[in-house]
Structures are given as structure tokens and as C-alpha cells.
Homo-oligomer: A and B are copies of this chain.
């Protein structure tokens, strides 16, 4: 998790971390504040001074924790993928048939996008181009694992006639539809995240045959 960051940090920082003091908490606070600001104002629209002020530091101090601004962006996205994978795997671990697991995955992903403090994945979706290619490569492997979770469930649904079309296209369309909710969903709009997830999942699935019909 800290592999990429560790390579370019000052020696003093590495010592502090090894000593097990509270340094990691400050780093996590920076990442959290940066995620919120990057989501609200974009990467280029957020200054390192903004991030520092949000955690009560002076303007130069974030560079004690990160070699440069891009590394903060990388840390935000890495944290998003970590949380997203953990949450999605937990959803799938509850078991049930393909339909139930699909519901759980849709609900988990809406949560990652729309719940309070869930700024990490939206930043990854909307600021991806700002991340230098060298950093991108490190995240793509993790993104692929995330996509594979979806692909597995969708392929299962397709095989049993519960979802139409090519499974890969289905995955891209479904994830696109869900991801775009980050731009239009308002929590005070009367629709809960649970209800949104349920209705969306139903929309994507082929209608279930009522028992006793054929």
C-alpha cells in the first residue's frame, strides 16, 4: 500500500514510520482532505496550500509526507481502489445466486460513489487523466481485478439468460451508468441509495419469469 510512496520519501519519514508513531495518521488525513478537495474542485483546481490548510498544516508541510502533488493524487486513487475492492469482495462473500450477488455488487458500488466521505473513487473516475502514466500503470492491475469481479457475475447472468447481449459490453454499460450517478445523484432527492441500487439493478437485468409461467 505504501510501496510506491516509500521509494521517494525523505529518510526522516521512513524512520518515523518504522518507529510506529502517529505519522501515518497525518498522511491519511492529508489523503482524506485531498480526496474531498479534488472531487469538489478538481486536481488542478486544488492547491497544495488548500490541502495543507484543510488539515491544519502550513503550505510546505504536505511535502514532508509526499514527494509531489501527483503522489497525493495517486494515494487518493490507491485508497479508493483498496476500499472499493474490500467492499465489493465483502458483498460477493455474502453468497446467494448470481442475481443476489449482482444486486450486492451494484449496491456496494453506489455506496462507494455516493455515501458520505466516498470521494476516492469519484476522483479516480474524473481525474484519471491527471495522473502521470507511471502512476497509472501501478493502478491498472488493481482496476482489472475490480472489473473481473463484475465480469464474473455478469457472465454468470448471461449464461443463464438473465442478462442480454455481450457480457463485456454489458459490464461497460452498467458500470458507466452507475458511475455517472456520481454527477447527478443528490442525497436529499427523496431516493435512498438502497432504492436507487435496487431499481437500477432491476433495470439492467432481463425480467425474471414469474413462477409457474414459461
Contacts and interface: CB of A to CB of B under 8 A. Distances in A.
Interface of A: 40-45, 125-126, 128-130, 164-166, 169-170, 172-181, 183-184, 196, 199-200, 202-204, 206-207
A178 B204 CA distance: 14
B164 A172 contact: no
Contact of A179 (B40, B176, B178, B199): B176
A125 B178 CA distance: 15
Instruction: Give the copy number.
Output: 2
Nearest to A165: B203
A33 B144 CA distance: 34
A147 to B, nearest CB: 11
A172 B181 contact: yes
A137 to B, nearest CB: 17
A184 B164 CA distance: 21
A130 B179 contact: no
A169 to B, nearest CB: 6
A176 B185 CA distance: 12
B45 A200 contact: no
Contacts of A43: 44
Contacts of A179: 176, 180
A14 B125 CA distance: 41
A181 B176 contact: yes
A23 to B, nearest CB: 31
Contacts of A203: 164-165, 169-170, 173
Given A173-B204, A206-B207, 15 more contacts: A40-B129, A42-B129, A43-B44, A44-B44, A44-B45, A128-B183, A164-B207, A165-B199, A166-B199, A172-B181, A172-B184, A173-B200, A174-B177, A176-B176, A176-B178
